Amino acid sequence: MSNDVTTPDGGAPMAPPPRTSRRRALWVATGVAGLTGVVGLAALGGLAARDDKSGTEPVADNHAAAPQSAGDGSRAEGGKGDDGYGKDGEDRGQEGRDRGEWGPDKGGKDGKDDHGKTREVPCKDEALIDALELANRDHGGTIKLAENCTYELGVKDRKVGSALPEIKQDVTIKGNGSTIKRDAEDTFRIFRVTDGGDLTLKDLTIKGGNANEFKYPGPSAPKAADPAELDAKRVEGDGGALLVERGGSAHLHAVKLVGNSAEGDGGALANYGRTWLMDSKVVDNHAQGDGGGIYNEGILKVETTHVDDNTAGGNGGGIANGGGAHHDGPVDLASAAKAGKGGHGRQHAGTVEIIGGHEGKDAASSTLSRNRAGHNGGGLFSSGGWVSVSFTAITGNTACDNGGGVYAESTDLLLERVLVAGNHADGNGGGVVTTGGRDWTPTGAEKADGEASATISESAIVDNTAGRFGGGIYNGEWLIKIEDGFLARPYDKDDNATLTIRDTDIKGNTALNGGGIFNNKAKITLTKTLVTKNTATDSSKLHRVAGGVLNNEGRVKLDDKSLISNNDPTNCANTVEDCFN
């Protein structure tokens, strides 16, 4: 018997294969009714939604507007480490409001009816700032922008770190096809919604916001010894276009968040309250931290929306639900002991629902396409919390570590009627990673650190690639110790991750080993699922090589309607019961 312990730098990265037209056939094979349009969209790589206009728009006057007043009333600053509802779990932003259901059906078709006093805003920067200040003073209202105007903001209010007054009331902005953009060397975000504020944006583009950490100048800078104060300041670099604090809410309908950036998390949007996006586009944004497009620690709903071409220096190129350690991945026992403290470093996560329209002639998917993460989760990252994705195409994303399409750690994850195609991870899990995190102590002994539960249903996971294990799916613990015997774990031990796959095609994926699925010290149940034409490229032959499913110290159960066949060089390398080579 031989022992081999993997290290993070083994295996050369592989470029993702070209997408092919067979994806439509795969969708049909899975029996997903009414999604032919979705497949066609994904096969074309999603809608890029680049929205620079032709230059015919008027530009607002008074470009160099003076810094505006912060408005009256005190502000409860948001911060990470809460549950997205406000202090002690209360949804403070919803107290005393009789607004009925929160979400797309609130008010009218666009999400909300006009309310309060309506103000027509000419194509002048200063007029927009004045209108928002008046709306805050008048307990809310509706603002109608000039048609097809570009409001260029050149100065920020240094008290709040944003270009526009904080949203403290119920404010609706009707964009009329206009753009609000940062046009200055100074860095600032565009909008900030505080505790109790409710912002609705319609038919508007927000461009060029750049959130940076707030820094007190000169000798007057506070010592910041209070941990609560330090925690509150952590959001200052988040949300390049829009920051929604705890207790605040935002509704975005037909809104484009384009070319924004953040020194912290959430290149375009950082949500710690409640945020809903519908028929919108989040494209070409960047975060130095997590969530190139969107960062969430509250309640987030994304409907018929495209989150494409965003980048994150950390986790979650498209969307990040909670933050996480940037070093998770295969480790050896020596590295585990050397790490010493072994803390996970996960921040609080929230709830995310991503859904595409699937009824009527206008049915279209949501997309998470061509996003890139410097660490985990090229398209979508979650560390804790609850995530549901349906009628969505997750295509062409890249992770420099693990989870090219989706990375879900200690998360309740549901993927239903989802296309995961053409994604790549330099490490493990080209398509999807589901894991409970690390299960080891500094001495190398196992410990209960976390569990993950995931369901993939009526979906297609095709043509994804990984530089190491699990071209299509990686499920389970990160400590990988492969032995010749491939002994199953005792059934009385807790599973690091439990994955259920139903009515799904796993096809054409490639990895060093476990081309279709790699299961490590965890449990997978396959029901009416096909694992075919996947490839393992390990030429060293030091261990058993499985093109279909490689099961390492875990359990993989197949029903009689599932099939693992036509994988190269073997289907399961004798590691899965009822899988024939």
**What distance in Å separates the CA atoms of residue 507 and residue 225, rounded to the nearest whole number?**
55
Helices assigned H by DSSP within 291-401: 333-339
SS3 at position 382: strand
Contacts of 257 (CB under 8 A, 6+ apart): 206, 241, 242, 268, 269, 280, 281, 282, 283, 285, 293
* Sequence ranges of the domains in the chain: 1-48+309-581, 57-255+290-298
Is 74 exposed, middle or buried, given 0-12, 13-18 or 19+ CB atoms closer than 10 A?
exposed
Number of other residues whose CB lies within 10 A of the CB of residue 10: 12
Q: What tokens does 169 get?
A: 């009331």
Closest CA to 242 of 265, 216, 268: 268
- Nearest one of 357, 411, 359 to 380, comparing CA atoms: 411
pLDDT on residue 117: 83
Q: How far apart are CA 318 and CA 405, in angstroms?
A: 10
Return the pLDDT at 556: 95
Q: What pLDDT, on the 0 to 100 scale, is given for residue 113? A: 55
For residue 316, give the nearest of 398, 238, 244 by alpha carbon. Answer: 398
* pLDDT tens track, the chain, 581 positions: 334 444 333 344 334 444 333 333 333 333 333 333 334 433 333 333 334 444 455 776 654 443 433 333 333 333 444 333 333 333 433 433 333 344 544 444 444 456 668 999 999 999 999 999 999 999 899 999 999 999 999 877 766 668 899 999 999 999 999 999 998 888 899 999 999 999 999 999 999 999 987 554 444 444 444 544 544 556 889 999 999 999 999 999 999 999 999 999 999 999 999 999 999 999 999 999 999 999 999 999 999 999 999 999 999 999 999 986 543 444 433 333 333 333 333 457 899 999 997 665 555 689 999 999 999 999 999 999 999 999 999 999 999 999 999 999 999 999 999 999 999 999 999 999 999 876 544 444 444 456 789 999 999 999 999 999 999 999 998 877 665 545 555 554 557 899 999 999 999 999 999 999 999 989 999 999 999 999 999 887 656 899 999 998 899 999 999 999 999 999 999 899 889 87
Cα(275)–Cα(135) distance, rounded to whole angstroms? 20
Please state the length of the chain.
581
Instruction: Give 9-77 as a 3 state SS string.
Output: CCCCCCCCCCCCCHHHHHHHHHCCCCCHHHHHHHHCCCCCCCCCCCCCCCECECCCCCCCCCCCCCCCC
pLDDT score recorded for residue 503: 98
569 φ/ψ sector (left φ>0, alpha ψ -120 to 50, else beta): alpha
Q: How confident is the model at residue 543, as a pLDDT?
A: 66
φ, ψ for residue 132 (rounded to 5)?
A: -70, -40
**φ, ψ for residue 396, nearest 5 deg:** 65, 25
The predicted structure's pLDDT at residue 359: 62
pTM: 0.78
Q: Are strands 497-502 and 523-527 parallel, antiparallel or unpaired?
A: parallel
